[in-house]
Amino acid sequence: MEILESKYNEENKGLLHDIREFPISRKDTSGNQTGTWRTLLPVFQEGVAPCSEACPAHIHIPGYMGLVCEGKLTEALNIIRRENPLPAVCGRVCPHFCEESCNRGEFDEQVNIRTVERFIGDYGLDIPLKKEINKIRGKVAVVGSGPAGLSAAYFLARKGVVVDLYEREAKAGGLLRYGIPEYRLPRDVLDREIENIFALGVNFLKERDIGPEELPSLTKEYDFIFFSPGLWARNIPQWGYSGKAIFNGLNILKKIYKGAIPSLGHRVAVVGGGNTAMDVTRVLMRLGKEVTIVYRRTLAEAPAFADEIKEGMEEGIQILERKLITRIEDRIDSSLMIEIQDAVKERGGKIVPDGEKTHRVVDSVVAAVGQAPEMGIEKDDKVFFGGDFETGEGTVVHAVASGKRGAFTILGKMGVLNRDETDKYFRLTGELANRRIINYDELNTFYFRKEKRLEPKRLGAGKRVKDFLEIVAQASQNAVMAESGRCLSCGTCNLCGACWYFCPDASVVVSETGPRKVTFDLDFCKGCAICSVSCPRGCIVMEAEQ
């Protein structure tokens, strides 16, 4: 037995601490390879953000958002251009399916991807596109220079393919030029983006109408043919009228854009609820006409983009919902009398006129009732289709995606494509089974705080109906950088280091330069999954240890 107190003076002189009194291991911990306890293995695996998945062109949105918020605009532009040569156009007219499925919407409000894309697109107008391969590798004819044809031409030319782009009209752009109004897409922006594509060495052959009869000679001249002539004005109903005061909406728009003023009179009735109906109405209002839309459903059911309807309503469009024109007659003063009835849905879904007949006097009727293909052509292993012609009425970005898909398929057949690139593209398009979409519940939102979505300035409704000036203003670079900082970077590691901070065994290695951004020291990783849980963006998955 030892009585400490009485002895302390001799025994404890000085207080140099001895390792035997301090609870510390004598040897270092490297011998204690805690990795042997592991039953679950952390695996760094980036996933696909729902926005990228929803975007038909599968732009790597979190990838460029991360660069924009660091001010690396050129790098961001290159990421977009990997998938889409028309960001300035799409930043304006694309309905942005990406935003609809943006995870941030479940947290506060979706990221304003459109505004960021447009800013980067405009930034790139002066920056030439890059050719990746210069050597000539075969020859392809592209028919139709709408977004589908432009996109196909770009992805082919980039790889050194000689592209002849045939277009019926004098200028390229398709519906971008002859459908979408200038107040939504200024023509100088469109021109510059097209010029950039042509500068890659695309031969633009204007005013060349290619019909089915030309096909045999084209197949001889070219290795492949990409057909994207779009859809054009469909035959319109006449409502029992045989005079000249009924017009096709798409043709009217085309005429106006070419500089002609159509003789429609002052009072115009527009029939339809799609984008053409909205655009033609708003264009005619800007020309001083008194326009009334007659639509057989309600606006809420209309296929026109929500933004278009909203802006149109702000501008004061007149609309008769759930109405059908049943008859049109000439009047002596060369105006028209239109007879209108309620539109009622029959059993089986057919819409028929019913109820009281009312009458209205107008000077002309513009029918905007959809588009149809103009020609019948057979697909074969040298002839590929794209754009609206292939799929029916779509959107610009669908057309861009189809051009890209066509180009990639052709490049694959030519044997020019490196495997990686096809994989990258087709992974997103759902053709590789192991892609992982990072949905909201896979995020760890602990790190984020609520922030308001950026809303760019717009011209006031009263002002904008007087001219064709662009409605939506460009946002400032600071605002765009801040907005891109709202992106949660779903599925894309942005080296935030949360895993590194929280790993209790100091087994996470984060590297900016390595081939993988995150690796694990498996000698010590116990497989606790803290890294996986702490990752804000779902980039670390746990797998059963073999």
Partner 1 sequence: MSKDMMTGSDAVALGVKLAKPDLIFAYPITPQTHIVETLSEIAPSWGGRFINVESEFSAIASCLGAVSAGSRAFTATSSHGLLLMHEVLHWFVGARMPLVMVNANRAIGSPWNIWADQSDSLAQRDTGWLQIYCETCQEALDTVIQGYYISEKLLLPVMVMIDGFIISHTMEEVEVHEPQKVDAFLPPYAPQFKLDVDDPRSFGNAALPDDYYRMRKAIQRTFTSGFEVFRDCHNLFEDVFGTRYDLMEAYLCDDAETIFLVAGALTGTTRVAVDMMREKGMKVGLIKLRVFRPFPKHALQKVIAGHQDVIVLNRAVSYGAQGTLTQELRSAFYNVDDNPDIYDVIISLGGKEVFPEILMGVCEGIKADPAFKDEMIWV
Residues that bind ligand SF4 (CB under 6 A): 49-51, 61-62, 65, 102-104, 111, 113, 487-490
Picked from ligand SF4, partner 1, ligand FAD, none, the partner binding residue 143 (CB below 5 to 8 A depending on kind) is ligand FAD
Q: How far is CA 271 from CA 83, 274, 288, 342, in A?
A: 37, 9, 18, 14
User: Does 1 contact partner 1 by CB under 8 A?
Assistant: no
User: Which of 119, 127, 17 lies closest to 71, judged by CA?
Assistant: 119
User: Which of 130, 158, 145, 153 lies closest to 222, judged by CA?
Assistant: 153
The whole-angstrom separation of Cα 121 and Cα 83 is 13
Picked from partner 1, ligand FAD, ligand SF4, none, the partner binding residue 20 (CB below 5 to 8 A depending on kind) is partner 1
| CA atoms within 13 A of residue 58's CA, in its CB half-sphere | 19
User: Does 228 contact ligand FAD by CB under 6 A?
Assistant: yes
The full DSSP string for 356-371 is EEEEEEESEEEE---E
Picked from ligand FAD, ligand SF4, partner 1, none, the partner binding residue 15 (CB below 5 to 8 A depending on kind) is partner 1
User: Which listed residue (4, 300, 433, 544) binds partner 1 by CB under 8 A?
Assistant: 4
User: Does 356 contact partner 1 by CB under 8 A?
Assistant: no
The whole-angstrom separation of Cα 280 and Cα 367 is 10
| Binding segment (CB under 8 A) for partner 1, from list 14-22, 396-404, 422-430, 531-539 | 14-22
Q: Which residues does 401 contact at the CB level (< 8 Å), separation at least 6?
A: 56, 57, 58, 151
3-state secondary structure of 92: helix
Looking at the Cβ atoms of 19 and 170, the one nearer to partner 1 is 19
User: Does 289 contact ligand FAD by CB under 6 A?
Assistant: no
Q: Which residues does 259 contact at the CB level (< 8 Å), separation at least 6?
A: none
User: Which of 264, 304, 301, 303 lies closest to 285, judged by CA?
Assistant: 264
Looking at the Cβ atoms of 65 and 293, the one nearer to ligand SF4 is 65
What is the residue type of 412?
G
Cα angle 153, 156, 160 (rounded to 5 degrees) comes to 125
Q: Would you tell me how many other CB atoms lie within 10 Å of the CB of residue 350?
A: 8
Picked from ligand SF4, ligand FAD, partner 1, none, the partner binding residue 5 (CB below 5 to 8 A depending on kind) is partner 1
User: Does 121 contact ligand FAD by CB under 6 A?
Assistant: no
Strands 351-362 and 336-345: antiparallel
The helix or strand, by DSSP H or E, that contains position 215, with its residue range, turns out to be helix 215-221
Site string for partner 1, 17-36 (x = CB under 8 A): xxxxxxxxx-xxxx-x----
Picked from partner 1, ligand FAD, ligand SF4, none, the partner binding residue 21 (CB below 5 to 8 A depending on kind) is partner 1
The whole-angstrom separation of Cα 537 and Cα 526 is 22
User: Does 388 contact ligand FAD by CB under 6 A?
Assistant: yes
User: Which of 100, 163, 107, 106 lies closest to 131, judged by CA?
Assistant: 163
User: Does 148 contact ligand FAD by CB under 6 A?
Assistant: yes
User: Does 273 contact ligand FAD by CB under 6 A?
Assistant: no
The helix or strand, by DSSP H or E, that contains position 83, with its residue range, turns out to be helix 73-83
Contact by Cβ (8 Å): 367, 238: no
User: Which of 156, 176, 157, 155 lies closest to 167, judged by CA?
Assistant: 176
Picked from partner 1, ligand FAD, ligand SF4, none, the partner binding residue 487 (CB below 5 to 8 A depending on kind) is ligand SF4
Looking at the Cβ atoms of 270 and 481, the one nearer to ligand SF4 is 481
User: Which listed residue (42, 50, 87, 144) binds ligand FAD by CB under 6 A?
Assistant: 144
Point out which residues pair with 485 in neighbouring strands.
none
Looking at the Cβ atoms of 395 and 534, the one nearer to ligand FAD is 395
User: Which listed residue (82, 104, 118, 168) binds ligand FAD by CB under 6 A?
Assistant: 168
| Residues that contact ligand FAD, how many (by CB under 6 A) | 40
In the complex, least distance from residue 23 CB atom to ligand SF4, rounded to whole angstroms: 46
- Please identify which residue in the block is written with the tokens 């293995």: 41
User: Does 167 contact ligand FAD by CB under 6 A?
Assistant: yes
| Binding segment (CB under 6 A) for ligand FAD, from list 2-10, 139-147, 420-428, 439-447 | 139-147
Looking at the Cβ atoms of 35 and 230, the one nearer to ligand FAD is 230
Picked from partner 1, ligand SF4, ligand FAD, none, the partner binding residue 32 (CB below 5 to 8 A depending on kind) is partner 1
The whole-angstrom separation of Cα 75 and Cα 65 is 10
Point out which residues pair with 227 in neighbouring strands.
143, 385
DSSP character for 362?
Answer: E
Q: Would you tell me how many other CB atoms lie within 10 Å of the CB of residue 419?
A: 8
User: Does 328 contact ligand FAD by CB under 6 A?
Assistant: no
| Binding segment (CB under 8 A) for partner 1, from list 8-16, 207-215, 232-240, 363-371 | 8-16
Contact by Cβ (8 Å): 273, 303: yes
User: Does 446 contact partner 1 by CB under 8 A?
Assistant: no
User: Does 272 contact ligand FAD by CB under 6 A?
Assistant: no
| Binding segment (CB under 8 A) for partner 1, from list 3-11, 153-161, 396-404, 428-436 | 3-11
Residues near ligand FAD (CB under 6 A) are: 93-95, 143-149, 166-169, 174-176, 179-180, 209-211, 228-230, 250, 253, 275-276, 279, 305, 374, 387-389, 394-397, 399
Binding site for partner 1 (CB under 8 A): 4-5, 8, 11-12, 15, 17-25, 27-30, 32, 506
